[in-house]
Each structure stands twice: as C-alpha cells, then as structure tokens.
C-alpha cells in the first residue's frame, strides 16, 4: 500500500477515521402486532370494566355479611368509582412520568393485589379501603389499553384495533351481571373479586414479555392543577353517586359537593386553557372531532349504564328472577354486540363513512330500547332479550366508528392522555345515567302509584272480580294489602316504561353531535363510497 493510501486510511493523529454516521430510519409500524400483546391489553381493559358491573349483583350478599345498612353498603361501589374517576384523567401524565410499560405493570399488579384483599375483607371499613385502592390502580387500565392498541396498529387499521378493544370495553360490562350472579349463587360473593386474580396474572405475564419500552420524560408536576382536578372530579362523582340516596339538593353535603365541583372545575379550565405545563393538555379540546366524540360517548354512557343499572331491578325486583337467571338476560345482547363490533371494525368501517355508522348505531340502539317502554308484567325472557339484541347491534355499530373519528387527528404522543379524558367522560356519563334512572324510578313510581290509587273504589268494576279470583271481597281484611301490593307492582312497571322511553330519547339526542364531526382526512381509515 502506498504511503498516501496509508495516510489516507487514518484520520488526524493517526487514528482510524470513524465510520460515517448512519441515518436513523424510522421504525416500521408493524402490520401485525404481536397477538399476545393484543390479548394482554384486552384482558387489562376487561379487568377494570368487568369490575364495574360484576360487583353489583353481589351487593345484597355483602349487606348481610357486613351487617351494613343499604346506605352504608353503597360505599362499596362509590369508593371504587370516585377513586377511578379521580385518577383516570391523570393517565397521560403518569404514563409520561413513569413510562407506559412501568405504569401498566404497576397498575395490573396493584389491581390484582387489591382484588385479593377485597375478597378477604373482614368488615365494611376494610372493604371500602381495598375498593379505594382497586379504583386507584384500575383507573389507568382502560386508557392505557386503548392507547397501546392504537399505537400498535397503523392508523388505517384503527378500526380493527378499536373493534378488538371494544370486545372488552363494551361486552364485559354486559356479561358482568351474568358472571357475577353465577359466582355469587354457586360459590360466594367473594369470588367476584377472586376472578380478577387469574385474569390479571395472565395480562401481567403477557405484558411483561411483549409490551415495548418507551422513554421516560422529565416532568414538572403542576400541583395546583392536580389539586383542582381531583377536587372537581371527586366532588362531581360524589354528587352523582350519593345524590339519590341523600335526596339531592335537600342535602347540605350534595349542595357543598356541587359548589366544589363547579368552582374547582371552572378554576381548572380557566387556569389551564393556554398553560403548556397543565396537568392535562387542554389543547385536546381544540380538536372538534375529539370534543364531539367525547360528548357523544358521555351521553351514550348515560343510556348504556342507565339501562344496565335498571335491568337487574326490573328482572329481579319486579319479575322475581333469581340473580343467575337475571344475569343471563344480558348475554344475548353481549354476544350480538361482540359480533357486530368485529364486523364493523374489520369490514364496515372500510366501506362506509364512519359518521353514518355511528348514526345507524344510535338509531338501532333506540329501536331496541323503545319496545321496552311497552313491557308489561307478563313479558317473558325472550320478550326482554330480543329488543336487547337489537340494541346490542346498535352498540357494535356505535363504538368503533365514533372512537376512530374522535381520535383521527390526535397525535400518537397524546393517545394516553386523550384516552384518559375519553374514558373519564364515559365513566361520568355512566355515573350520571345510574343516578338519573335511580331518581326517575323513585319519582315515577310514586307518581303512578298516586294516579292508580285514585281509581280504586268499591264501585270500580275491576276491583270485585280481581278480589274474587283470590276468594276475597272488598270488605275482607286481606283485600286492602293485596290491592296495595298489586298497585305497587303496576306503578313500578309504568315507571320502568318511562325510564326505557327516557333512555331511547337520550340515545337519539346524541345524533346532532355526530353532524359536528368532520370526516377524517385519512381516507384509508374511512374510504369513500
């Protein structure tokens, strides 16, 4: 080799030259995300959502086990809901602070441990503490699961990702009462908590092996914004959960909670609107599709969770179904909803404008709910389940397209934060739905009872034949209690009819929000037709 070449082969001071820097290519987005990762995040979502409804069926058994009053036992539900509502909007902040992988593993582990402790609770106080912990650890599970799936799939396949996610988020709460009723009747109320342990361990093991790592950001915590957010959300959830039992604004606690929620919420938004370091990035609310989609999912939460809350009362309290049988009423709707979700996410969303699918879903949900407004005391199992199946088709058509359009222009870096806000509002809608239908049930039952009793006189042509069927006359001592009992049943039936009508109207009232949403720019997500 010539001296020139030898000299050229070395850099300054005789050292070999460093190789030219290689351009860092962007990591290709996997066309087929790892199946174990998909299973892990779906099971993670199922953990949190299932626990919202599976516990409801076991509440009467807990009441006796803890020697608690009906007002006291509601804290088993309220403590979980309030804790989850406070932590859920912080998902984006916690994900950036701890890292998505670390946060998810920490949340799953905490949820499994707190579920086991709930199953071992020895009194009401310990149960409430463990449920608070369960709510804190469970809050990030759904937003993280949605964010991970959206990030794992390319944007043109978000419909498929959301269909998979929807299997957990929309079907699990419908199946929950059936599973809870079976476990409570066959084993014990404690098993509704123990069932979380195997599900959580499977999700944890799969997440450890397949969840990718993300860099952790150095963040400065906005403690004032955090305090205002906790006050606003916590107070709002308290008002929604306890309002019916405390006679709403006749209670000083409810009035105080409402004032705190309004002023803390107002201060949070005014302070953080253009503040870059706010605990939640409020610039998300400048996205029209995201705002309209969030409002729509909130209102749909009112109708869906309101329906789910009222059906056990209708089937068990009025029709006399045992818990296990009452729970099976939800299964046909859950199965139909799951099938529709899969078809919508993989086929329909590629053929039609997603907004049109959302509207079709709302119409189908209302059409499935309206026949329930004409139920009588003699309706049978399939008379109840068949309209529910029609509403289930509507749920399957609604969820995937709505979420796809709502997140169409959200940057990937904000998926966790946007999912946290989206899930929070769905939860608040659910709490509002439960509160409203509970209030309507009491109010409308009293109204119909007063109206019906006004027509009961010895001269009513239907009274004497009715009493005669039971071997009684209007002067029999047993006649008055029998008539009052029957009027009470009829009044409750009419109240349920009113509630089903209300739920159908709320569902249809969401449609104008869909017209505010823009068609996604990504035509590959919602192709023209």
Greater model confidence, 504 or 455:
504
Q: Which tens digits make up the pLDDT trace of 8-42?
A: 444 444 445 554 444 443 444 445 666 777 777 77
Bigger pLDDT: 350 vs 416: 350
Pick 393 or 69 by higher pLDDT. 393
Q: What is the mean pLDDT of residues 228-239?
A: 80
- Helical segments of 120-222, H only: 124-138, 141-152, 158-169, 172-186, 191-194, 196-210
User: For residues 103 and 94, is the Cβ–Cβ distance under 8 A?
Assistant: yes
As given in the structure block, the two tokens for residue 215 are: 């860099």
Residue 425 is encoded by which pair of tokens? 């509002």
Q: What percent of the chain has pLDDT over 70?
A: 77
pLDDT value of residue 174: 67
Give yes or no for residue 113 having a pLDDT over 90: yes
Buried b (16+ CB within 10 A) or exposed e, 30-54: eeebeeebbbbbbbbbbbbbbbbbb
Residue 7 has pLDDT above 60, yes or no: no
Give 306 or 325, the one with higher predicted confidence. 306
Please name the helix (run of DSSP H) or strand (run of DSSP E) that holds residue 58, with its range, or none: none
* Tens digit of each residue's pLDDT (9 = 90 or more) over 180-218: 777 777 788 888 888 888 888 888 888 776 666 666 666
Q: Contact, 76 vs 59, CB < 8 A?
A: yes
The two structure tokens encoding residue 253: 């606690």
Using one digit for the tens of pLDDT, what is the confidence trace for 276-322? 766 677 777 888 888 899 899 989 988 888 887 788 778 877 888 87
Residue 518 — very low, low, confident or very high, per pLDDT cuts 50/70/90? confident
| Cβ pair 125, 68 in contact under 8 A | no
Q: What is the pLDDT of residue 440?
A: 87
CA distance 172 to 56: 14
- What is the per-residue pLDDT across 419-475, written as a single tens digit (0 to 9) for each? 777 877 887 887 788 778 888 888 888 898 888 887 776 666 677 676 766 666 666
pLDDT tops 90 at residue 140: no
Judge whether residue 344 has pLDDT over 90: no
Identify the pLDDT of residue 170.
66
What is the pLDDT, as a whole number, of residue 524?
A: 38
Q: Is the pLDDT of residue 120 over 60?
A: yes
Checking if the pLDDT of 351 tops 80, the result is yes
Architecture, CATH, for domain 29-217: Up-down Bundle (1.20)
User: What's the fold here for domain 280-529?
Assistant: Growth Hormone; Chain: A; (1.20.1250)
Query: Would the pLDDT of 375 be above 50?
Result: yes
| Nearest residue to 82 (alpha-carbon basis) of 305, 204, 239, 292 | 239
């Amino acid at each position: 080799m010539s001296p020139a070449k030898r000299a050229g082969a070395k850099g300054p001071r005789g050292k070999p030259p460093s190789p030219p820097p290689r351009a860092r290519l962007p990591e290709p987005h996997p066309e087929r995300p790892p199946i174990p990762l998909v299973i892990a995040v779906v099971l993670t979502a199922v953990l949190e959502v299932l626990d919202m409804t599976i516990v409801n069926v076991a509440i009467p058994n807990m009441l006796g086990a803890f020697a608690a009053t009906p007002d006291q036992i509601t804290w088993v539900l309220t403590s979980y809901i309030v804790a989850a509502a406070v932590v859920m909007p912080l998902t984006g902040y916690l994900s950036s602070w701890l890292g998505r992988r670390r946060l998810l593993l920490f949340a799953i582990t905490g949820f499994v441990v707190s579920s086991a402790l709930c199953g071992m609770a020895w009194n009401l106080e310990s149960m409430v503490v463990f449920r608070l912990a369960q709510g804190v650890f469970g809050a990030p599970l759904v937003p993280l699961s949605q964010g991970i799936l959206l990030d794992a799939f390319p944007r043109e396949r978000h419909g498929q990702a959301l269909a998979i996610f929807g299997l957990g988020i929309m079907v699990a709460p419908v199946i929950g009462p059936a599973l809870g009723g079976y476990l409570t009747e066959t084993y014990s109320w404690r098993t509704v908590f123990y069932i979380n342990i195997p599900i959580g361990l499977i999700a944890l093991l799969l997440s450890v092996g397949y969840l990718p790592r993300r860099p952790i950001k150095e963040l400065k915590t906005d403690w004032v914004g955090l305090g205002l957010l906790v006050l606003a959300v916590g107070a709002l959830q308290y008002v929604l959960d306890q309002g019916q039992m405390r006679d709403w604004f006749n209670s000083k606690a409810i009035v105080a909670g409402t004032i705190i929620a309004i002023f803390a919420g107002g201060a949070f938004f005014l302070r953080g609107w253009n503040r870059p370091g706010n605990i939640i990035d409020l610039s998300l609310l400048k996205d029209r599709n995201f705002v309209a989609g969030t409002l729509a999912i909130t209102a749909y939460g009112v109708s869906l969770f309101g329906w789910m809350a009222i059906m056990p009362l209708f089937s068990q309290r009025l029709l006399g179904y045992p818990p296990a049988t009452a729970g099976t009423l939800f299964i046909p709707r859950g199965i139909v909803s799951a099938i529709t979700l899969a078809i919508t996410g993989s086929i329909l969303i590629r053929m039609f404008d997603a907004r049109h699918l959302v509207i079709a879903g709302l119409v189908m949900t209302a059409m499935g709910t309206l026949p329930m407004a004409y139920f009588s005391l003699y309706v049978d199992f399939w008379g109840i389940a068949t309209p529910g199946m029609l509403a289930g088709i509507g749920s399957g058509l609604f969820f995937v397209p709505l979420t796809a359009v709502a997140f169409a222009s959200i940057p990937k870096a904000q998926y966790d934060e946007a999912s946290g806000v989206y899930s929070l509002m769905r939860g608040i809608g659910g709490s509002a739905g439960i509160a409203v239908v509970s209030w309507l049930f009491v109010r409308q039952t009293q109204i119909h009872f007063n109206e019906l009793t006004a027509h009961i006189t010895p001269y009513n042509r239907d009274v004497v034949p009715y009493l005669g069927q039971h071997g009684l006359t209007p002067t029999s001592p047993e006649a008055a209690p029998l008539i009052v009992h029957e009027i009470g049943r009829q009044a409750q039936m009419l109240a349920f009819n009113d509630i089903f009508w209300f739920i159908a109207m709320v569902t249809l009232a969401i449609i104008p929000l869909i017209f505010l949403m823009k068609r996604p720019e990504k035509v590959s997500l919602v192709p023209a037709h």
